[in-house]
Amino acid sequence: MTDFFNNYFKKLDEANFSISQNEMILVSKMILKSNSLGGKVIIVGNGGSAAIASHVSVDLTKAAEIRSVNFNESSIITCFANDYGYEKWVSKAIEFYAEIEDIVILISSSGNSLNIINGAKQCKEMQIPIITFSGFSKKNPLKELGDVNFWVDSDQYNTIEIVHQTWILSIVDYIINQKS
């Protein structure tokens, strides 16, 4: 039994250390620049990734003092999904709420979530920088659309989500450290 956990934690460690720290610093600088221009960070995901988006959004706002929003309110999701289709609700939310000074972080474990991909396309159209977090295939559609991409080499949802949360919260902590 302990072999399972030893192997599990070893895989998490390997995944956590696979990231480029230079890209993490770049994203931190992008967020700080957006903030200095009066922009905000918009973070969107589905399911577990939506929970990560909520957590990060609150930490950015409260602890890092950087305006951040996510679209996890059921009324916006159900309204936009009903009126525009589920696959377009994120792109419509971005169209309505995003501004040129903003940065959008899109999280999809598979990188294949059509609503998240359409959100990235909307950002491209509006010339808003996109940071993506994905896993599974290295050539997933979301990763192809991002300006900076964080990819986890795994096909296990929990592994991908744990690593995404670790990476993005470490960026938040780095920003807090830079501001103090």
Report the pLDDT value the prediction gives residue 78, as an integer from 0 to 100: 96
Residues 170/28, Cβ–Cβ less than 8 Å? no
Residues 79/115, Cβ–Cβ less than 8 Å? no
pTM for this model (two decimals) = 0.96
Report the pLDDT value the prediction gives residue 45, as an integer from 0 to 100: 97
Report the pLDDT value the prediction gives residue 2, as an integer from 0 to 100: 80
Q: Which SS3 state, helix, strand or coil, does residue 108 take?
A: strand
CATH class of the domain at 38-179: alpha beta
Cβ-based neighbour number of residue 141 at 10 Å: 19
Domains of the chain, residue spans = 38-179
Q: Which two tokens stand for residue 63?
A: 């602890």
Residues 4/156, Cβ–Cβ less than 8 Å? no
| Alpha helices (H) along 17-73 | 21-36, 48-62
Residues 106/44, Cβ–Cβ less than 8 Å? yes
Report the pLDDT value the prediction gives residue 144, as an integer from 0 to 100: 96
Question: What is the residue-level pLDDT of the chain in tens, covering all 180 positions?
Answer: 689 999 999 999 999 999 999 999 999 999 999 999 999 999 999 999 999 999 999 999 999 999 999 999 999 999 999 999 999 999 999 999 999 999 999 999 999 999 999 999 999 999 999 999 999 999 999 999 999 999 999 999 999 999 999 999 999 999 999 988
Report the pLDDT value the prediction gives residue 72, as an integer from 0 to 100: 92
The set of residues, in sequence order, having a beta carbon less than 8 Å from that of 134 and lying 6+ positions away, is 107, 108, 109, 110, 111, 140, 142, 143, 149, 150, 151, 152, 160
Report the pLDDT value the prediction gives residue 179, as an integer from 0 to 100: 83
